[in-house]
């Protein structure tokens, strides 16, 4: 949950300055105002806002268009096991976001829409809407953020917000224009992109943020059991070259299994180790390192402990990812290389490549494959995977990025879409299924991604 990282602090600062006149006797304390994180993975890379210094609203527009070629060349053009990509060998509108931040005195609100393939591929991994009525996935799917709150002038600011907001877990931002790589490593892609609930952002000092959460669950619009999810983020930026983040979460996210408790810890360090803005060659260099671990225990699984006949098999998540980025050509070009690995016995965080057991297939519809071949995620099922990628970015200005990326991903079990695809023997969802047909999953994939990322 992934990272994020939002713009509320920047926007709040802009709006506060807009409302402050020289005659004001008390100048506001703005957190991180002396910190430049435009270089950091998961952050807005802009150093200025092109919109007029509006008093009550700061607008935002983002557009993400991609083309990806899979060397497996699946016959149905479907990408599986990714929240960034959906269609092979096609030009795809992945995301269109527009909205912004509203301010009136100390009241605040933010909303961002979510159109394009991500409005489908991200909500489909949340099964909480199957509990009860009102089709929550449809209600929320076209919003990436929508929350309202109040700013208290205490220390360097306290913000209390409620609604739908971005997750910090996994380092990467939900918005691709803020990330160093396009296809996120497993650590980020298998952890939350959003939370639905309440948060409190506390800035006790200029460079420290403490943010507790009470949320419905782990990337879930609704709540699976009686207990909500609890968690929090701590972000410390001692100077403009270092950013340290830790996130921790505890909840009950297994549908119908209230005794199964989940714990997850996500920890990242970002370091800019070279900075020479006037250089005609290399101008900046930085790395990001993220390490995650967590487990589920109770209800038939035994967390990190060795499995036994009484408590069930081990069920945990352990992963890491590392990326290094170098800027050159006066900051208009950047080269990134990195990757990661994960192990997830029980597969409770794995993105299901062929859908889930729900909705159940309709026996009267011989062309329906969603739910007909669920990916096994039983206690004890092992999943191990690793990935690596490299890309070149061309950034003629701070509002647009042209990216070309190569990605390799491998797993210990068949997981990625092979030549036979995951839809039918012909690749079309209207085909009457051959009784012997099964989704064609393979253990590895190589792909090339070209993307245009635009932001105002």
In a domain, 434, yes or no: yes
* Bridge partners (DSSP) listed for residue 162: 148, 198
From CA 339, how far away is CA 320, in angstroms rounded?
9
Backbone angles phi, psi at 176, to 5 degrees: -60, -25
From CA 379, how far away is CA 356, in angstroms rounded?
15
In a domain, 147, yes or no: yes
pLDDT band at 368 (very low <50, low <70, confident <90, very high): low
> pTM of this prediction?
0.89
In a domain, 3, yes or no: no
| H or E, element range at 138 | helix 136-140
How many structural domains comprise the chain?
Answer: 1
pLDDT band at 360 (very low <50, low <70, confident <90, very high): low
Q: What share of the chain is helix, strand, coil (3-state, %, to 5)?
A: 5, 45, 50
| Token pair 């119908």 in the structure block, residue | 256
Mean pLDDT of 305-324: 92
- Three-class SS state of 426: coil
From CA 435, how far away is CA 366, in angstroms rounded?
10
In a domain, 96, yes or no: yes
Residue 165 has pLDDT above 50, yes or no: yes
Q: CATH code at 240?
A: 2.40.160.10
The string of DSSP codes covering 41-67 is: TTS---SS--S---SSEEEEEEEEEEE
Q: What is the pLDDT of residues 26-62, one digit of tens each?
A: 667 888 888 999 999 999 998 887 776 778 899 999 9
Q: What's the burial of 322, exposed, middle or buried (CB within 10 Å: 0-12/13-18/19+)?
A: middle
In a domain, 2, yes or no: no
Residue 430 has pLDDT above 80, yes or no: yes
What is the domain extent for residue 128?
8-455
Q: What is the pLDDT of residues 248-302, one digit of tens each?
A: 999 999 888 999 999 999 999 999 999 998 888 999 999 999 999 999 999 999 8
Positive or negative CA dihedral for 305, 306, 311, 317? positive
Q: What is the pLDDT of residue 12?
A: 40
In a domain, 368, yes or no: yes
| Token pair 């393939």 in the structure block, residue | 117
| Token pair 């803020």 in the structure block, residue | 178
In a domain, 54, yes or no: yes
Q: What is the pLDDT of residue 256?
A: 86
pLDDT band at 363 (very low <50, low <70, confident <90, very high): low
In a domain, 344, yes or no: yes
Tokens standing for residue 165: 């907001």
Q: 130 vs 403, which has greater pLDDT? A: 403
From CA 336, how far away is CA 155, in angstroms rounded?
38
Q: How many CB atoms lie within 10 A of CB 90?
A: 12
Q: What is the pLDDT of residue 415?
A: 95
Q: What is the mean pLDDT of the chain?
A: 89
Tokens standing for residue 235: 């972000």
């Amino acid at each position: 949950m992934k990272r994020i990282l939002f713009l509320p602090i920047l926007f709040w600062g802009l709006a506060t300055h807009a409302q402050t006149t020289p005659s004001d006797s008390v100048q506001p304390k703005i957190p991180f105002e002396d910190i430049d994180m435009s270089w950091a993975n998961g952050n807005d890379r802009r150093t200025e806002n092109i919109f007029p210094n509006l008093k009550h609203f700061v607008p935002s527009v983002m557009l993400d268009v991609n083309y990806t070629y899979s060397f497996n060349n699946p016959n149905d053009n479907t990408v599986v096991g990714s929240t960034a990509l959906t269609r092979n060998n096609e030009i795809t509108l992945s995301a269109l976001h527009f909205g912004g931040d509203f301010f009136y005195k100390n009241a605040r609100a933010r909303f961002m829409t979510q159109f394009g393939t991500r409005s489908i591929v991200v909500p489909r991994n949340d099964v909480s809407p199957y509990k009860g009525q009102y089709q929550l996935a449809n209600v929320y799917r076209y919003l990436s953020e929508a929350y309202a709150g109040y700013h208290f002038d205490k220390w360097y600011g306290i913000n209390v917000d409620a609604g739908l907001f971005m997750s910090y877990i996994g380092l990467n931002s939900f918005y691709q224009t803020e990330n160093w790589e396009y296809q996120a490593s497993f650590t980020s892609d298998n952890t939350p992109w959003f939370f639905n609930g309440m948060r409190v952002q506390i800035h006790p000092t200029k460079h420290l943020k403490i943010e507790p959460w009470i949320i419905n669950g782990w990337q879930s619009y609704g709540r699976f059991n009686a207990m909500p999810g609890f968690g929090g983020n701590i972000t410390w930026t001692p100077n403009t070259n270092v950013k340290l983040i830790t996130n921790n979460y505890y909840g009950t996210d297994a549908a119908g299994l209230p005794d199964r408790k989940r714990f997850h810890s996500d920890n990242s360090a970002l370091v800019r180790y070279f900075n020479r803005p006037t250089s005609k060659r290399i101008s900046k260099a930085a790395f990001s390192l993220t390490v995650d671990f967590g487990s589920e225990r109770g209800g038939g699984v035994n967390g990190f402990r060795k499995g036994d006949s009484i408590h069930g098999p081990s069920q945990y998540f352990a992963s890491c990812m590392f990326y290094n980025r170098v800027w050159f050509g006066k900051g208009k070009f950047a080269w990134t290389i990195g990757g990661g690995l994960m192990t997830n016995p029980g597969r409770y965080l794995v993105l299901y490549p062929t859908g889930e057991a729900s909705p159940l297939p309709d026996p009267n519809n011989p062309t329906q494959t969603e739910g007909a071949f669920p990916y096994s995620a039983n206690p004890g099922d092992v999943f191990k995977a690793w990935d690596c990628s490299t890309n070149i970015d061309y950034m003629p200005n701070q509002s647009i990025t042209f990216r070309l990326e190569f990605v390799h991903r491998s797993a210990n079990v068949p997981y990625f879409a092979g030549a036979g695809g995951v839809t039918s023997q012909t690749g079309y969802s209207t085909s009457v299924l051959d009784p012997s047909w099964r989704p064609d999953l393979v253990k590895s994939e190589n792909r090339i991604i070209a993307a245009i990322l635009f932001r105002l």
